[in-house]
């Protein structure tokens, strides 16, 4: 039941958004009830996109949630972040310079570069941000590669016009990442327009908008949602601010004319002169007979040169001019149509034949070059063979030394084993001797006592022996 109530509330909000005006109204007298809507869609067509010299462009101001907003595009990428190979696409708080200290406002952004051939290939990215004085714009510095955008075959640039869209929601409960919600908004908006048309109201798709201001899409298709939105997250297409001081809202224009054009790049100059060449070629110029004669003389002079020499000459540009003169020459009284066609076809031969000759000469010289390379390779191989033989002899000597050293190692190992065995024997004998010595130490007091008694006994014997000797000596004197 809770989920059902949430779904019903969401459906009521969507219906309310549609009934009170989902699409951006460009009229500056827009009512507060419309301007206070919390979700809006802004469409901005930028004409002559490839010729824009300005670093950045601002759309006209529009209102969402009662606040002023505008779109910001860097047609050649944001140079401040060195992203000159991608288009940069942001949403900007238009009146940031006049807001009070500490201001902030929340918005979800769903930004799209529309594929005008097949909308399912449109590029869409989604992010959200709490705007403030330090980050008063937010979006994608690397929205999409410029080489893809500027390729007419891709469908993002049609008749040199780029079409960008932005859904902006200030309601935190709205999920602009939801494709289903966008389908619902688009479908409801279409139904509302049909209903208004039936009641004689001015159709929204008849509104006229300026070249570089938000406008309403006249042909809608939910196929745009076949290309899933990309949610900005760390590590991939990170949404960010330009971190630069933006001009006040009242100083902006659809093409920010206060910004000086950049110096022309090589690409700009190539585009200009290619366009100029096409413009001049489309002119109805008629060459005179004298010019035609001079052109034929130049062609004949070129043909008197060898093809290889012509390839390296500076006559290619003059011949191009000569054929240009002949193509504009009225030859009805001089040449037949077949002769003129054959003559003009020679221009392509002047490009191809010298190149073919040069290639043929290069191919002939290639064999000589290859022979030189082959000889050098052969010499290198011979040196390598000699070095290999020397290395093989050195390896054999090293193996002999290793064999001799192996015998010494074996003999030394045997001596080591004998010494270890002898050490073990000495260890055993030493253990026995120590055991005997330790046993003697235990009996030593007894031996000491006996020795002392023996010493007393020896003295006693010696004394008795002396007494007996003295007694015999006394008897000998009496006899």
Mark residue 133 as left, alpha or beta (left: phi above 0; alpha: psi -120 to 50; beta: remaining).
alpha
Rounded alpha-carbon distances, angstroms, from residue 86 to 73, 146, 308: 11, 5, 44
Confidence class for position 271, pLDDT limits 50, 70, 90? confident
For the chain, list the domains and their CATH numbers: 39-177 (2.60.210.10)
Distance of CA 376 to the CA centre of its chain: 43
- Are 170 and 67 spatial neighbours (Cβ–Cβ below 8 Å)? yes
User: What mean pLDDT value characterizes the chain?
Assistant: 75
User: Each residue of 127-170: pLDDT tens digit?
Assistant: 999 999 999 999 999 999 999 999 989 999 999 999 999 999 99
- What pLDDT does residue 176 have? 73
Mean pLDDT of 373-398: 91
Least confident of 6-20, 81-95, 198-212, 361-375: 198-212
Cα 252 from Cα 258, distance rounded (Å): 8
**Lowest pLDDT segment from 48-62, 197-211, 228-242:** 197-211
Averaged pLDDT, 299-316: 70
Question: pTM score, two decimals?
Answer: 0.41
Lowest mean pLDDT among 35-49, 206-220, 438-452: 206-220
pLDDT grade for 201, boundaries at 50, 70 and 90: very low
Contacts for 136 with CB less than 8 Å, ≥ 6 apart: 92, 93, 96, 241, 246
**What are the structure tokens assigned to 225, written together?**
């949602």
Is the per-residue pLDDT at 234 higher than 50?
no
């Amino acid at each position: 039941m809770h989920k059902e109530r949430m779904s019903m509330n969401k459906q009521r909000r969507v219906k309310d958004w549609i009934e009170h005006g989902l699409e951006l109204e460009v009229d500056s007298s827009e009512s507060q009830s419309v301007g206070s809507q919390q979700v809006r869609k802004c469409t901005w067509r930028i004409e002559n996109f490839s010729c824009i010299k300005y670093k950045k462009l601002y759309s006209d101001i529009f209102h969402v949630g009662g606040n002023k907003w505008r779109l910001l595009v860097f047609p050649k990428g944001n140079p401040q972040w060195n992203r000159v190979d991608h288009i940069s696409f942001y949403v900007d708080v238009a009146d940031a310079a006049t807001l009070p200290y500490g201001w902030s406002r929340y918005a979800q952004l769903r930004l799209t570069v529309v594929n005008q051939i097949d909308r399912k290939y449109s590029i869409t990215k989604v992010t959200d941000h709490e705007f403030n004085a330090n980050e008063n714009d937010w979006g994608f510095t690397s929205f999409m590669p410029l080489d893809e955008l500027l390729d007419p075959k891709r469908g993002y640039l049609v008749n040199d016009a780029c079409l960008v869209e932005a859904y902006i929601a200030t309601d935190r409960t709205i999920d602009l990442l939801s494709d289903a919600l966008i389908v619902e908004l688009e479908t409801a908006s279409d139904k509302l327009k049909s209903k208004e048309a039936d009641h004689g109201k001015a159709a929204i798709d008849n509104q006229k908008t300026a070249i570089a201001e938000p406008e309403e899409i006249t042909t809608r298709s939910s196929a745009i949602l076949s290309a899933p939105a990309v949610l900005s997250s760390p590590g991939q297409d990170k949404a960010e601010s330009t971190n630069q001081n933006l001009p006040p809202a009242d100083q902006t224009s659809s093409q920010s004319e206060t910004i000086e054009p950049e110096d022309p790049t090589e690409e700009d100059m190539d585009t200009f002169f290619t366009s100029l060449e096409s413009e001049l070629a489309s002119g109805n110029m008629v060459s005179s007979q004298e010019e035609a004669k001079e052109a034929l003389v130049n062609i004949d002079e070129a043909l008197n040169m060898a093809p290889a020499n012509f390839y390296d000459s500076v006559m290619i540009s003059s011949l191009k001019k000569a054929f240009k003169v002949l193509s504009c020459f009225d030859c009805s009284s001089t040449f037949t149509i077949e002769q003129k066609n054959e003559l003009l076809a020679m221009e392509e031969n002047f490009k191809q034949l010298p190149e073919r000759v040069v290639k043929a000469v290069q191919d002939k010289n290639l064999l000589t070059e290859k022979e030189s390379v082959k000889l050098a390779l052969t010499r290198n191989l011979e040196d390598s063979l000699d070095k290999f033989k020397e290395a093989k002899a050195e390896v054999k000597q090293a193996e002999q030394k290793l064999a001799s050293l192996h015998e010494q190692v074996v003999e030394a190992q045997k001596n080591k084993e004998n010494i270890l065995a002898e050490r073990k024997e000495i260890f055993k004998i030493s253990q026995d001797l120590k055991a005997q010595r330790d046993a003697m130490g235990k009996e030593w007091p007894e031996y000491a006592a006996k020795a002392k008694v023996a010493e007393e006994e020896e003295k006693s014997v010696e004394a008795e022996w002396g007494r007996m000797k003295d007694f015999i000596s006394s008897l000998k004197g009496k006899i």
